[in-house]
């Protein structure tokens, strides 16, 4: 996974992914990308590029595509193959439209209570060095993802065995393509907001798209289809 600076600390000079956690069921590796001068370190990027690009190494995590997009947006040479989003494997009983987080997955699949401290989650992940508590928190999260996959392989080896996963994940969109689509959606959202802005401060009921000028109606509908 790839923790970023939390929103409450966005006034800090550091921007982007602060560290990367890699794990197997037996060990975790926490790689700090932040330097104490407020910039990113490229020391481990060549190694990360090689590991992430190897399709035979499954990259499992909750919303793993978002993590890989964070890295790709910072270093465009990074490509991540064989990405397995664990959040799509289970359905929340209380809300079928909501994907379970790592804590719930660990409880359901492993029977393990994974402590999730809000204060640690929102702490400054760009500080150098990280505190022992931060290192333990991030390493445990990475381990949980690997342990969940290992247990899924034991429960259903036909579906989750590595060779089968690699074959099925081979058709997924490259991160570079997802990055382009993400940027287009952001641009479309920004343009849509600017089109609707003149009407958002009017008194009374909100203005519907049908009440906009014809050229704006066409633009809004095109944006919503992207």
* Residue 20 maps to a domain: yes
Q: Which residue has the higher pLDDT, 90 or 151?
A: 151
25 CB neighbour count, 10 Å cutoff: 15
Q: What is the CATH number of the domain that holds 98?
A: 3.30.420.10
Domain containing 210 equals 183-224
**Is 178 a domain residue?**
no
Total of domains in the chain: 2
Identify whether residues 166 and 197 lie together within a single domain.
Answer: no
- Render pLDDT for 47-79 as a digit per residue (tens, 0 to 9): 999 999 999 999 999 999 999 999 999 999 999
List pLDDT tens digits, range 178-205.
Answer: 999 988 888 887 777 776 666 554 545 5
User: Which is it for strands 27-32 and 59-61: parallel, antiparallel or unpaired?
Assistant: unpaired
CA 29, 30, 35: angle at the middle one, nearest 5?
A: 145
Q: State the DSSP string of 5-20.
A: --GGGTTSS--SB-EE
Paired tokens of 154: 């034991």
Considering the domain architecture, whether residues 117 and 152 belong to the same structural domain is answered as yes
């Amino acid at each position: 996974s790839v923790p970023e600076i939390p929103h409450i600390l966005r006034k800090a000079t550091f921007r982007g992914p602060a560290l990367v956690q890699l794990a197997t069921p037996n060990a975790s590796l926490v790689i700090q990308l932040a330097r104490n001068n407020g910039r990113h370190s490229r020391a481990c990027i060549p190694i990360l590029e090689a590991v992430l690009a190897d399709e035979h190494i499954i990259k499992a995590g909750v919303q793993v595509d978002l993590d890989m997009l964070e890295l790709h947006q910072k270093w465009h040479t990074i490509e991540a193959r064989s990405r397995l989003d664990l959040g799509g494997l289970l359905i929340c009983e209380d809300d079928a439209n909501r994907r379970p987080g790592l804590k719930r997955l660990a409880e359901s699949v492993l029977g393990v209570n994974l402590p999730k401290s809000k204060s640690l989650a929102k702490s400054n992940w760009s500080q150098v060095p990280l505190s022992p508590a931060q290192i333990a928190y991030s390493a445990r999260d990475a381990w949980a993802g690997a342990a969940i996959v290992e247990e899924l392989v034991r429960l259903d080896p036909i579906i989750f065995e590595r060779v089968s996963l690699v074959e099925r994940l081979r058709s997924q969109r490259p991160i570079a393509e997802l990055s382009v689509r993400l940027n287009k959606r952001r641009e479309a959202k920004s343009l849509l907001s600017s089109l609707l802005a003149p009407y958002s401060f009017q008194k009374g009921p909100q203005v519907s798209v049908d009440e906009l000028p014809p050229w704006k109606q066409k633009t809004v509908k095109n944006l919503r289809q992207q």
